[in-house]
Amino acid sequence: MVRFENVGMRYGMGPEVLRDINLHLAPGSFHFLTGPTGAGKSSLLKLLALSHRPSRGLLTLFGQEVNSLKREDLPAFRRKIGVVFQEFRLLNHLSTLDNVALPLRIAGADEEQIYKHVTELLDWVGLGPQVDAKPPTLSGGEKQRVAIARAVINRPQLLIADEPTGSMDPEMGLRLMHLFQELNKLGTTVVIATHDLGLIKRFSNPVLYLKDSTLYSSRSDEYLDQYHRSSL
Amino acid sequence: MIQFFGRSNELQLEKDASSRYLPIVISSMVFLAALALAGLFSIHSAVENWSTAVSGNLTVEIEYEAPRKLDKKVKITVDFLRTFPGVEKVRPLSLEESAKLLEPYLGRADVVKDLPLPRLIEVTIAEGSALDLVATAKKLSDTVPGARLNTHRPWLNKMITLARSVQLLAAAIMFIIGITTVIIVIFAARTGMVMHQEIIEVLHLTGAKDTYIARQFQNYFAKLSFLGALPGLLIAVLVMQILGFLTSQLEASLITAPTMIFEGWIALAMLPFLVALLTMGTVRWIVMGSLKRMM
Ligand SMILES: Nc1ncnc2c1ncn2[C@@H]1O[C@H](COP(=O)(O)OP(=O)(O)OP(=O)(O)O)[C@@H](O)[C@H]1O
Ligand SMILES: [Mg+2]
């Protein structure tokens, strides 16, 4: 599904914010991605979202090396990836419904189907009453749920979420984690960036952590042990 | 047409104020273009009329006198003209021929024939000859009193040259207007892209093809151009009607006042569509070009 081989990444001419990343994500896996602020979590997710190119190394997505892809093939790849951005990136002048419908419209789905699916999903994430509201009038947690709904509406094969439950109460956070789990059971590969140790503890999925610009992986209990030992 | 002018779904370009100036600018551009185009077409048809007028031969007219004297004068004139280098052919018209020419104005030729008509002599000048018509005309009337050589040919030639230069100027103006319009549209499209950079990025990362994004821009701007072109064209047509009315009051006898031909009206009617197409193509080119810079 996803393979990084000695991948490095930099912004423009700046220093490498990620280096020597080696990683393999099996189809249907569910990982947490963590690390201190500024460690490069969002940057790693940008590589996965096909919004940045690696500056070196090989990144393989869905069996294709990214740098060898033709530009006109990229949209088809991106449609298989759902992204929850850390800063949501909702379109402020569109209603909640139209924001969530965006991936379906872009993929050319039929309007009737779009309406049905979108309202169903919005009800499920508790935004039924807000279908016509515009993002600026929503609370932080509500915006986050709109962003999540938009990322999953297309049943993506790869779901990446950057701090998706940071702005909501724990109960709603758990509800959305269960949504991710459901999708994962249906075959979606999931990567979630988070600072929330409670979440890591509770769901005990394997943990990828960034330290000194490079990536390590471990089981969640090992990671938590290590974390507690180093902070003592 | 609906597809052609489709709404810009996600970008909602109609809600931003930055491009509202575009119809006004396009309107003035179309106004100028329409006038230039009208000038081009009407001068073209005028020149054509004048050209047929001058490509005919020169004529010498000899005032009426007693028929015998007149015949003599005709003979002298013919002999006199034949001595000029550059004169290819001199042919006196018979009385019947002259009467025939006047028939449309004066009535049946056999009646006209008996009127005190001037005698006409047809003179063909060799092509490219440097005959000084004005001097020749003077010499002729000195030699044969009552003989008069028509000399509007060089004058018409000058008019034609002038008209051709005006035509060239009109074409150049059209060209400049086209270029200016393209530049204005480029700036409008660039501004639009900068203002909507974030939305464009989201669309792009959600898997939108470049054409999907470009279409929203190009349709919206084409619509603005089209709607801006209509009032510009309307005002131009009004101005042309007023000008046409004023020249018709002038009663220019020799040359026909420039009038628009049918093709000219068609060209004018196509102007808004052409401007919309030009805008659409330009915007597409700009948007696709800058999208290429994203991964
Ligand atoms: N667009 C950018 N241009 C230049 N440098 C950037 C850009 N985005 C991030 N960086 C730098 O890259 C490094 C990693 O940033 P990144 O946003 O990936 O961290 P993060 O782990 O997501 O942090 P946080 O937990 O605060 O979200 C930081 O040093 C940051 O300054
Ligand atoms: Mg981040």
Which chain A residues are within 8 Å of B214, Cβ to Cβ?
Answer: none
Per-residue pLDDT at B52: 60
Per-residue pLDDT at A115: 92
295 residues of chain B, pLDDT tens digit each? 334 454 557 777 777 777 788 999 999 999 999 999 888 888 877 777 666 655 556 778 888 888 788 888 888 888 888 888 777 788 888 878 777 776 666 667 677 777 777 888 888 777 666 677 778 888 888 888 888 887 666 667 777 788 888 888 888 999 999 999 999 999 999 999 999 999 999 999 999 999 999 999 999 999 999 999 999 999 999 998 888 788 777 655 444 555 667 888 898 999 999 999 999 999 999 999 999 988 8
Closest chain A residue to B204, measured at CA: A75
Q: How confident is the model at residue A224 (pLDDT cuts 50, 70, 90)?
A: confident
**pLDDT tens, position by position, A52-72:** 999 999 999 999 999 899 999
Q: Which ligand is nearest to the CA of A38?
A: 1
Which chain A residues are within 8 Å of B198, Cβ to Cβ?
Answer: 89
**pLDDT tens, position by position, A200-209:** 888 889 999 9
Per-residue pLDDT at B26: 95
Per-residue pLDDT at B128: 66
The fraction of chain B above a pLDDT of 90, given in percent, is 35
CB contact under 8 A, A76 and B205: no
Q: Looking at CA atoms only, how far is residue A138 from chain B in angstroms?
A: 19
The Cα A223–Cα A217 span in angstroms is 8
**pLDDT tens, position by position, A94-151:** 999 999 999 999 998 888 999 999 999 999 888 989 999 999 999 888 998 999 999 9
Q: Is the pTM of this model over 0.80?
A: no
Which chain B residues are within 8 Å of A74, Cβ to Cβ?
Answer: 295
Cα dihedral across residues A40, A41, A47, A51: positive or negative: negative
Per-residue pLDDT at B3: 44
What are A's interface residues with B at a Cβ cutoff of 8 A?
49-53, 71-72, 74-79, 83, 89, 91, 93-94, 98, 102-103, 105-107
Question: Mean pLDDT in chain A?
Answer: 91
Q: Are B218 and B16 in contact (CB under 8 A)?
A: no
Q: Are B195 and A41 in contact (CB under 8 A)?
A: no
Per-residue pLDDT at B4: 46
Per-residue pLDDT at A220: 82
Per-residue pLDDT at A172: 81
Per-residue pLDDT at B53: 56
CB contact under 8 A, A49 and B205: yes
Q: Which ligand is nearest to the CA of A37?
A: 1
ipTM of predicted complex: 0.91
Closest chain A residue to B12, measured at CA: A93
The Cα B153–Cα B257 span in angstroms is 18
Per-residue pLDDT at A21: 93
Per-residue pLDDT at A232: 64
> What letter represents residue B206's amino acid?
T
**pLDDT tens, position by position, A138-191:** 988 899 899 999 999 999 999 999 988 877 788 888 888 888 998 899 899 999
Closest chain B residue to A99, measured at CA: B10
- CA of A86 from ligand 1 middle (Å) equals 11
Given ligand 1 and candidates A10, A33, A34, A42, which is best to mutate, with the most ligand atoms within 8 Å of its CB?
A42
A49 vs B161 pLDDT, higher one = A49
Extents of the domains making up chain A: 2-80+159-231, 92-155
Nearest Cα residue to A91 out of B196, B16, B31? B196
Whether B293 has its CB under 8 Å from any CB of chain A: the answer is: no
φ, ψ (nearest 5 deg) of residue A33: -120, 125
Per-residue pLDDT at A176: 85
Per-residue pLDDT at B253: 45
Q: Is A11 in the pocket of ligand 1 (CB under 6 A)?
A: yes
CB contact under 8 A, B205 and A93: no
Q: Is a pLDDT exceeding 80 seen at residue A29? A: yes
Q: What fold is seen in the domain A2-80+159-231? A: Rossmann fold (3.40.50)
